[in-house]
Each structure stands twice: as C-alpha cells, then as structure tokens.
Amino acid sequence: MTGRLSRRAFLAGAALAPRLARQAAAELAAELPKANPILDIHVHLIGVGDSGSGCRLSAAIQERAPFKLLAVVLQLRRRAATLDEGYVLALAGELQRSGLDKAVLLAHDAVYDGRGRLDPKRTHFYVPNDYLLQVAKRHPKLMIPCVSINPDRGDAMDELERCLEKGARILKIHPPIQGVDVAGRKHKKFFRRCAGKKVLVMVHTGHEHSGPVIDIELARPGKLRLALDEGCTVVACHCGTGEPADRPDMLPEFLRMLREYEKPGNLWGDTAVLGSLRRSRDFQRLLADDFARSRLLHGSDFPFPAVPLASAGKIGILKAAALQFDSNFIRQDFALKDALGIGRASAERAYRLVRAFAP
C-alpha cells in the first residue's frame, strides 16, 4: 500500500458516485451497531474571533484553499451571522449524526516568547480555554472539553489551576506550532502537577501541515519522556506519523516509545488525520504492528477530512467509494477506520480512557 490514489480508482469511484451517495448515509448508519460507547478523542474547535470568542485564525491560514473550501462545505457563513457560531453549529450537527457517543473538543493555546509573554506575531491559530469551556457546556451530551496550555507561558501553573477549578481534566499541547519543548526540565513541575491532579495530557507528535511550524524537531515522540516519567498518562497525537516525503521519519521512534513504556502503560497514540490521503502509508505501517494497534485511540482530527478512496486497495473500491461520498466527516472517518479493522476497538478504548479522567 503506497498511499497513492490511482487515476483508475478515483474515476471508478466517481462513476459510482450518484448511486453510492444516495445509499452511503443509510448503509453507514446500519453498520454502526450500538454496543459499548464510542468516542472521538481529537476534534478541533475553530474560530476567527468574529463573535467576540477571542479566537484567532491568521490570514495566512484563512486565505489558503483548504480553509475556504471547508467554509463552503460546512456552510459556515450560511448557518449563522458569525463564522465562529457557524462552526459550532456545523460541528454539533456532525456529532449528532455521526453515530459516536462523545467527542473530545480541543482548545489551542498561543505562542509565548522566552519570558513567557504572548507572541502574537507567531500565533497563527488560537482558541482560548474559556471559549472552549463555554461551547462544551452548551453541548454536554456531545462534547468533553480539552483545554490547551503552552507550558512556556508565564502563568502556565496558574492557568492549569484555573482550568482544573472549572472541571477540565484533559489538556492538549502542540509543540511544533506553539514552539514549546515539552522535554525541557523547567516543565517538570507542570507535568508533575498534571499527574497529581489526574489530567490526561495530549501532545502533538509527528509532522504538521495545517499551519506554520516553528520547529518540527519539537514534535519528536521522544520529547514525551519527561511527562511520562513524571507519571502523566500521555496521548501521542498522530503517533509520530507524516507524509511520505517528510523527514525525519518519526514513526519508528513512537513504536519504540510504546515498548519502552509498556510496563507503566501510560503512553497511547491516537489515529487523528491518519485516514487522510498522504498519511495512509504511515497508517498502514502503524497497523502492521500488533502491539501498537492495542494502544491506539480513535480520533478524526475534524474538520480535516479522511480520503477513503486512498484505502481502496485495502477495503475494496465499492466500500471506499461509499465512504468517500458520505457527507458527514466524523462518521466517514470512523467508518473508514472500522473497515480497516481498528475503528470500533480504538473508539471504545478512547471512551474508557477519557471517562477514567473526565467522568
């Protein structure tokens, strides 16, 4: 499996589109039997700040074709007077029809300078914790909040305590975009506090293509050792994966880390964005490792869509085409991973783990 979508496979899928598009939603719903609860551990909250949310999405991101296409596909500007509210409504609708029971909704902290002060020029994507908590409170049956705290911020410990008081028990850090070295010894106290208060720590690992990267070396899975050794339960988002041309190759490092921390059992990986076209090669490499499969948690990385046709060689062209034309991105991503043999087990596992931290 190379991860490339052949012209023949694409045209075959496209030719089948009219019939499959009519049948896809009903078929997929029938294929999601209710058994144990299932959860998506990696869903993004996004905003531009036009509702007073405090969110920020730089012009460098808003002017890219993927964001413009996303706004059209999700009908963000038609749903509400502001893009912020349009996104929340679109997300809630997707979750309600996805067949999953819950989703972990992620905030995104800013970049901070060497003195712990906000660095707005290098912050391209920002979703404040208060806005996240407000949105999650509006949809408690669908969303579990995951706050974001860059340990480099001068008030990181205070912000952690504030979020704990508000009931948050999941935390996300994005080292290559936020410019933070989570292996820095100065963060030992921060992670020790997370462990002591039973906070589930999610950290981006592997390559990043959705926004400007400050330093890709900060995304190495080995950087997680400090948090793990301080007793944190850590989710390595994306499992250190990347696209075929990305260097360095970080997936082998993640696989070694899983075995290094097998006995304490406090390291996990999520499958966010692994259903996309260019990550399909690394996804197959990951799934080829039986032990790694047992440590995977389901994540979609919504609003970034999966590309089921890229897996036509594994699941068959008819199945891939049916999934490709499902308009619900969250359901589509889960159904693709279920067809690959990892979806339900990893989604049930994600639900159990999250509920142990955020009951």
40 in a domain, yes or no?
Answer: yes
Q: Which two tokens stand for residue 281?
A: 């090669």
pLDDT score recorded for residue 211:
87
Question: What does the alpha-carbon distance between residue 195 and residue 189 come to, in Å, rounded to a whole number?
Answer: 10
State the pairing for strand pair 125-126/56-57. Answer: antiparallel
By CB atoms closer than 10 A (0-12, 13-18, 19+), residue 323 is buried
Coil, helix or strand at residue 37: coil
| Contact predicate 124/60, CB 8 Å | yes
Question: What does the alpha-carbon distance between residue 305 and residue 288 come to, in Å, rounded to a whole number?
Answer: 23
pLDDT score recorded for residue 5:
46
Beta-bridge partners for 268: 235
Beta-bridge partners for 171: 147, 201
Q: C-alpha 249: how far from its chain's center?
A: 20
pLDDT score recorded for residue 66:
86
pLDDT score recorded for residue 35:
81
1 in a domain, yes or no?
Answer: no
Mean pLDDT, each 10-residue run in order, the chain (359 residues): 41 48 49 78 98 95 90 95 98 98 98 96 97 98 98 98 98 98 98 98 97 96 98 98 97 98 97 96 97 98 96 96 96 98 97 96
Q: Give the other-Cβ count within 10 Å of 279's Cβ.
A: 29
97 in a domain, yes or no?
Answer: yes
For residue 135, the enclosing domain spans 7-357
2 in a domain, yes or no?
Answer: no
Q: Give the other-Cβ count within 10 Å of 264's Cβ.
A: 11
pLDDT score recorded for residue 31:
53
The CA radius of gyration of the chain, in Å to the nearest whole number, is 19
Cα–Cα separations (whole angstroms), residue 291 to 160, 257, 269, 294, 340: 33, 12, 12, 5, 16
Question: What does the alpha-carbon distance between residue 270 and residue 204 come to, in Å, rounded to a whole number?
Answer: 10
CATH number of the domain that residue 65 is part of:
3.20.20.140
pLDDT score recorded for residue 117:
97
Sign of CA dihedral 358, 300, 312, 241: negative
The count of domains in the chain is 1
Name 78's Cβ contacts closer than 8 Å, sequence gap at least 6.
Answer: 86
Question: What does the alpha-carbon distance between residue 46 and residue 107 come to, in Å, rounded to a whole number?
Answer: 8
| Contact predicate 204/173, CB 8 Å | yes
pTM (two decimals): 0.91
| Contact predicate 95/135, CB 8 Å | no
